[in-house]
Amino acid sequence: MPDEIVIISPELKPGSGGLADYTLRLAAQWSEVAGIRFVIPEGGDRLPSRTTAAAVDVVERTRATLRAELPAAGGKVLVQYSGYGFGHFGYPRWLLRALIEWKKESGGLLVVMFHEIWTFWPLLNKNRLVQELHRGDLRRLLAVTDVAFTSTASQAEHLAALHPQSQPELLPVGSSIEPHARGNAPTRDPELAVLFGLQGSRLRTLQSMEAGLKTLAATGRIRRVVTAGAGNDPARAEEEEQLLQSLHLSGGYQLLGAIPAAHVSDLLSGARFALSAQDPLSVTKSSTFMAYAAHRLLVLSPFGGASREEPLCWAASPAELAQGMDEAQLTARADALHRWHERTCSWERIAERFARALQMDVQPRPCESAS
């Protein structure tokens, strides 16, 4: 009989958050695997802020509840970890202690995906103690973890420094939007740029790229911009529209807001360019950037350029595009980014890497992709 596999995530409802969507997309690759069970701990995000006798009681009861849900002996546990995902204060002590106890007592297999680690507070900040306590428990967790993954190179370095024997593996996140299967290559508008993501992210991108986009609009390299994604703050929506107006696009602009995933895929498939301001430290944990890569778009980024590390070496800066890039160059970079995505962090590849870590004998479901 195969070992039971428990997947722990702070959320699981579709659309409730990035970790829920990540976990569900991963599980979809293992749809034919028996014995997978999900555990969504209760009480972790309602812990009191002060360490009192009552707080300790809550921690212990929460930990006991979680321990009862884990395999009694042996078994395999995969944790989708984010400190703030499991607790308002970014330090889910109850979860970390329960996992450490389970591993030591059961001898099971423990795999942890560190989506977020600890918060970096200044030395004199009152929250610095919480940071140090969190780091201490994460060090103990890493000591008993069989395989550790994380989504950025910088987080891998911090975790390795915390516990050098753990050797965390870098595993970029997958695309938030999967391309439709199509028989023919989509027809792309060569002067259309798309900006997809949450409202705050869209604003930051437009603000940081405003000068470069104005140049591209003035030269006619980009004539139209369409934005899409969740966010319903009226003040921010007005600021977003003002920024788009300031670009003086000859073809105008459009703010679509939140639209179904299939419509987002259609939008990405019909554009030539995508806009992103993800820096080198965060780009591999951006599911939006990966959606651009999955749809074979030429990403315009202030951090892009041939001299950059992957994957930003396959993006282009606005200055590069303004100086002149022909269609062959645009296509070559977009194709290279797409190939990097397929071999590195398509959902099929992500599922394969987790399956190996969990010692599962399974063939993930092939992903459909546009071509």
pLDDT, tens digit (0-9, with 9 covering 90-100), for 188-236:
999 999 999 999 999 999 999 999 999 999 999 999 999 999 987 899 9
Q: How does residue 368 score in pLDDT terms, banded at 50, 70 and 90?
A: very low
Domain ranges of the chain: 5-171+346-357, 189-344
**Of 368 and 155, more confident:** 155
Q: How big is the chain, counted in residues?
A: 371
| DSSP alpha helix (H) spans, the chain | 18-29, 53-69, 83-86, 93-106, 128-144, 153-162, 199-218, 234-246, 261-269, 287-294, 318-323, 327-344, 347-357
Residues 86 and 92: their CA atoms lie apart, in Å, by 6
Structure confidence at residue 163 (pLDDT): 94
Do 95 and 86 contact (CB within 8 A), yes or no?
yes
Can you tell me which residue has the tokens 């000591």?
143
| Distance (Å, whole) CA 332 – CA 303 | 18
Integer Cα distance of 240 and 243 in angstroms: 5
Nearest of 265, 288, 275 to residue 244 by alpha carbon:
275
pLDDT in tens, 264-290: 999 999 999 999 999 999 999 999 999
Q: What is the pLDDT of residue 123?
A: 66
Query: Which residue, chain included where needed, has tokens 């889910």?
Result: 92
Report the run of H or E that residue 255 belongs to, with start and end.
Answer: strand 253-255
Lowest mean pLDDT among 46-60, 99-113, 153-167, 350-364: 46-60
Cβ atoms 303, 283 nearer than 8 A:
yes
Whether the predicted pLDDT of 292 surpasses 70? yes
DSSP 45: G
**CATH of segment(s) 5-171+346-357:** 3.40.50.2000
For residue 86, what pLDDT is reported?
Answer: 85
What per-residue confidence (pLDDT) applies to 84?
Answer: 85
Give the side-chain half-sphere CA count within 13 A for 360.
Answer: 26
User: Which residue in this structure is represented by tokens 């987002």?
Assistant: 264
Gap between the Cα atoms of 277 and 308, Å rounded: 14
104-112: average pLDDT: 94
Using the 8-state DSSP alphabet, how is residue 316 labeled?
Answer: B
Sheet-wide strand order for 76-81: 36-39, 5-8, 76-81, 109-114, 147-150, 169-170
CB 266 within 8 A of CB 196: no
Section 161-190 average pLDDT: 86
Cis preceding linkage at 10, omega within 30: no
DSSP-derived letter for residue 36 is E
Whole-number Å distance between alpha carbons of 177 and 185: 18
Average pLDDT, the chain: 87
Window from 42-51, 52-61, 354-363 with minimum mean pLDDT: 42-51
Statement: residue 370 has pLDDT above 60? no
CATH class of 189-344: alpha beta
Q: Which pLDDT belongs to residue 263?
A: 95
